[in-house]
């Protein structure tokens, strides 16, 4: 449990966020689909506030990647992992601290070894309680899934990079933040399968959690750099935080969008254009250029975040 004296910051204004009040409940449903030998995903089925959940099974251990939001989702993921892994030792890790990815971890406490990077643990301590309140405000269904949620500390913490030997299958955990958050993590399985969390989405405008003054850790330049590095590794299979599984071209597609936003935000800021006008111009152009992508509400958040970061 996170320390009790961590008082949540006031929640930011939610009016500009995507409206999920009429979306299906944010519940992880169904069973795992095998992507490669011993590597599975429980697909998000493009349901709002549901992530792609990974389960990787080796000869003597298994790794779960993300839990869904709240104790009910966490329990479902644990059940599916146990069904695949049997009595193998379980590990749990999270791509980042956001509620829909990791706030079901309490179901794994005592049932798995929970592994975070050090920055991820620190960010959870700083922001976790505030994010619970913010996500409860998104919809009644989200609030219901977060009822009784507990913020769970890891059993193991690493700096930089860690490797888990699952038995005939290698999982590389690598801290790559700040980017989408201050403490993003990617997981690479046998140098073939990449779990990218919300660094990468399929046909969804990337989520830029820029909520000044509460949360301003999103870093456009670093995010682009991370995607360049990941694309250079040429993974065969890419599992995004949300949306369908794809190949390395998905990383390049997201990188191209972020590069456009960052470049335009930097150019317009240097020309003396205001942040609001910059966001409006980028929003109009991006909607036209990436017309098949969902949740364009996130364009303005990215534009303002990258505008603010252009002076760094």
Global pTM value: 0.94
Rounded to whole angstroms, the Cα distance separating 237 from 249 reads 10
Question: Is the Cβ–Cβ distance between 69 and 53 less than 8 Å?
Answer: no
**Burial of residue 1 (number of CB atoms within 10 Å: 0-12, 13-18, 19+):** exposed
Would you list the domain boundaries of the chain?
Answer: 33-309
Give me the count of residues in the chain: 312
248-289: pLDDT as tens digits? 999 999 999 999 999 999 999 999 999 999 999 999 999 999
Query: Encoding tokens for residue 307?
Result: 């505008």
In the chain, the N- to C-terminal Cα span, in Å, equals 35
In which residue are the tokens 């929970």 written?
A: 114
Phi-psi region of 197 (alpha: psi -120 to 50; beta: other; left: phi over 0): left
Kindly report, residue by residue over 61-98, the tens digit of the pLDDT: 999 999 999 999 999 999 999 999 999 999 999 999 99
Report the DSSP pairing between strands 61-65 and 89-93. parallel
Domain spanning 33-309: which CATH class is it, in words?
Answer: alpha beta
């Amino acid at each position: 449990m996170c320390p009790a004296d961590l008082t949540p910051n006031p929640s930011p204004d939610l009016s500009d966020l995507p409206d999920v009040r009429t979306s299906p409940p944010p519940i992880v449903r169904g069973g795992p689909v095998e992507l490669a030998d011993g590597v599975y995903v429980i697909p998000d089925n493009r349901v709002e506030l549901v992530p792609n959940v990974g389960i990787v099974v080796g000869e003597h251990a298994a790794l779960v990647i993300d839990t869904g939001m709240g104790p009910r989702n966490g329990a479902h993921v644990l059940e599916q992992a146990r069904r695949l892994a049997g009595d193998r030792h379980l590990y749990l890790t999270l791509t980042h601290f956001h509620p829909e990815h990791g706030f079901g971890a309490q179901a794994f406490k005592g049932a798995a070894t929970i592994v975070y990077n050090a920055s991820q643990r620190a960010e959870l301590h700083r922001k976790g309680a505030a994010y619970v309140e913010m996500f409860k405000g998104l919809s009644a269904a989200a609030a219901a899934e977060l009822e009784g949620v507990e913020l769970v500390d890891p059993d193991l913490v690493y700096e930089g990079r860690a490797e888990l030997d699952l038995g005939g299958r290698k999982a590389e955990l690598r801290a790559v933040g700040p980017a989408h958050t201050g403490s993003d993590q990617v997981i690479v399985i046998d140098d073939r399968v990449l779990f990218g969390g919300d660094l990468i989405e399929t046909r969804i405008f990337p989520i830029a959690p820029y909520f000044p003054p509460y949360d301003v850790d999103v870093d456009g330049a670093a995010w682009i750099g991370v995607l360049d590095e990941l694309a250079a590794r040429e993974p065969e299979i890419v599992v995004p935080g949300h949306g369908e599984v794809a190949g390395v071209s998905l990383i390049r597609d997201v990188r191209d969008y972020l590069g456009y936003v960052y470049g335009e935000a930097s150019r317009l800021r240097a020309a003396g254009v205001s942040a609001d006008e910059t966001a409006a111009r980028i929003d109009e152009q991006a909607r036209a250029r990436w017309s098949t992508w969902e949740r364009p509400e996130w364009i303005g958040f990215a534009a303002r975040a990258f505008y603010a970061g252009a002076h760094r």
